[in-house]
Amino acid sequence: MVRADNENERLVLEFFEILSTGDLERVRGLLHEDVTWIPQVKDIPGAGTYRGRKGVVDEFLAPVRGLFAPGDPKTTVHTIVSKGPLVMVESRGLGKLPDGRTYDNLYAWAVEVRDGRIFAIREYMDSFYVAKLFGFA
């Protein structure tokens, strides 16, 4: 199990733990009011920049989680390192789709913390895998 070495890493680990539960209101509480989430992908649903708690939770996370079976996907953090406000994470996303197919993707994350909240998220993943799995490619 990965352990936090400082408060910023603790916050980011808590974020991924709560995100894995699907409790988006608790996720909202960890976000800075000026948060941005940028999936580093092009030409698939979900691409773009999401701003503010409403943009991140209501316009991005809720629809994305709706693509999965209830309670999925789960994020397992494998590596966490930080310097100042920047926390870098390697993780695995695993879950089921409503039709029973398995989702299994590797991620890298650059998460910036400001004022004790998640301020910026840059999400890196295998977007071609996502496009194929969901029929976008």
Please report which residue ranges of 1-69 form alpha helices under DSSP H.
Answer: 7-21, 24-30, 52-53, 62-65
- Spell out the per-residue pLDDT of the chain, length 137, in tens: 899 999 999 999 999 999 999 999 999 999 999 999 999 998 887 899 999 999 999 999 999 999 999 999 999 999 999 999 999 999 999 999 999 999 999 999 999 999 999 999 999 999 999 999 988 87
Separation of alpha carbons 82 and 18, rounded Å = 20
CB 134 within 8 A of CB 113: no
Question: For residue 114, what pLDDT is reported?
Answer: 98
Closest CA to 19 of 121, 88, 137, 134: 121
Question: For residue 45, what pLDDT is reported?
Answer: 79
Domain 7-133 has CATH 3.40.50.150: no
Question: For residue 137, what pLDDT is reported?
Answer: 72
Question: For residue 79, what pLDDT is reported?
Answer: 98
Separation of alpha carbons 3 and 27, rounded Å = 20
3-state DSSP percent of the chain in helix, strand and coil, to 5:
30, 40, 30
- The structural domains of the chain, with segments of one domain joined by +, span 7-133
CB 117 within 8 A of CB 111: no
State the pTM of this model: 0.95
